[in-house]
Structure 1
Amino acid sequence: MTLRKPVKVEPGQYINLWIPLGPLSGLQSHTFTVANWSIRAQTELKVFVGVNRGLTSKLRDAVKRGLKSNIGLYMGPYGATIAMKGYETILLVATGLGVVAVAPYLQGLVHATRAHEIRSAPVHLIWHIPSWKQAHAVFDIIDFALALDEGDDTEEGGGKPPQISGIKISMCYEEEKSSLPPKVQLFIREMEKKESEKPGRTRIKVYNRDLPLETLLINDAVISPAQGDSEKPTMIAVVVITHGGSDNDVRDSHFGTRVAPSYILPHWDIS
């Protein structure tokens, strides 16, 4: 989405969007999570559209007919962001396209760490992927956060050497590898090769069906003495965002409780 005036959006916030696509579209609006973040106000917002009925269905049909751009109105941003300063371990758990709502947190955490606004903390994204058909659409967002994490920029810290947050991602997919798109198969082979060459030292690890979630959670949640100038024991921030019907069963079996699913999630980029 290209805006006429810049707007500041914090991680986790959403907008209400109206796009005129038909005689009754004036009565319809839809809520979308903003999938990108910047330290400054932005004139471009990225959203992903999960196609159901109503506005999203009409938007899909319009894109199939060749729609490249259109006018629209939005209200927002709305919603609160989750403060993660003061935590010594940050664990993000997402299922399906729930990762869209997590991506801005990754980007914001990398910036805050490199700018010395917060203490360097391990950040671990655990991502369950029921279908690569949708999930591959958000690769660019994750790649962007990883690229920032690996950068060598020193300006944001006032000339100080940047801190490195150390993002790692554990991904688990449910489909047969042979049925996946060629680009995704290549990505998986590359990640598996890196893991075989450097066991336990890669940023991204890919699992097929058997995600050792309990082991991963225990490893990230081990209580350790306070770090640095902290006066408290290790504090762990955990964010769980889900999407899709079958994902509820996966979430419940591992967490023993039901968590409200993320409301917006998507695969049509209308920017």
Structure 2
Amino acid sequence: MSAVPVAHRTVDVNGIRTFYREAGPADGPVVLLPHGYPSSSFQFRNLMPALGDRWRLLAPDLPGFGYTRADADHFPYTFDAYASFLRRFTEALGLRRYAIYLHDFGSQFGLRLAISAPERVAALVIQNGDIYEDQHGPKYAPLKKMWADPSPYALAAVAAHVSEQGFRDEFVGEVPEEIAERISPDLWTLSWAQVGQPPGPANLVRLLADQRTTVQWFPRQQAYLREHRPPTLVVWGPYDGYMPEGAARAYLRDLPDAELHLLDGGHWLLETRLAEVVSLMRDFLGRVHP
């Protein structure tokens, strides 16, 4: 099977010119790919052509990331705003049913989309996107300190990591050296080139500070999973200082029938275990979202 081409397009979403990548047949079953922090749709550049023979894959650059520009006067850089934006993106493209890939911050936006219209969700693929506070890893510590005391001093401590080196640390993380060398430096150099100029870093600090609001959503998200039981594939890289193995296994509390696969990788699993993820997704989506 040869890889299919990926198209690069824009669409107006609530007055914001939004860049997105698309692959696959226009009438194919949709797979929605909201990206994580501090990346963009670029993180799905290899996944999309590998699945585009059967599925229509859509990966937007969310405001302030990648090629979607939005200043703070027109976009507030809160989790509520991003969740609303993702919903409006689906409306702008006329999407009626979709599987959602839930990763990092994108898991928050995607789950809120699912809660808002559960009848449209065909399936979930969860990859290092956490909703269980008791399973948060040690890397959350400085963020939680800031959430508890959002003083200028605490904000400054986190802002210091909104840098090219800080982005590198996010991508390389805690994976062993033999795995880390497979993670392309293009990830952090491109991300920083796109958001590193003012007011980009300040907008990202605002978003990181607002991350504290996600915790109050966890019970609702867990309740959604219990009530609606969407077909779910959990693929996880346990070398993750934010979301270790326990964060993956916690999903079985609310989705005991979910398929769980722990792969030898970290937070950015598509960079190091792409073939395994593609194989698992093809099998899973072929059964539940053909």
The normalised TM-score by structure 2 is 0.30
Give the structure, 1 or 2, with the largest relative contact order (CA under 8 Å, sep 6 or more).
1
Higher strand share: 1
**Which of these two proteins has the greater Rg computed from alpha carbons?**
1
The normalised TM-score by structure 1 is 0.32
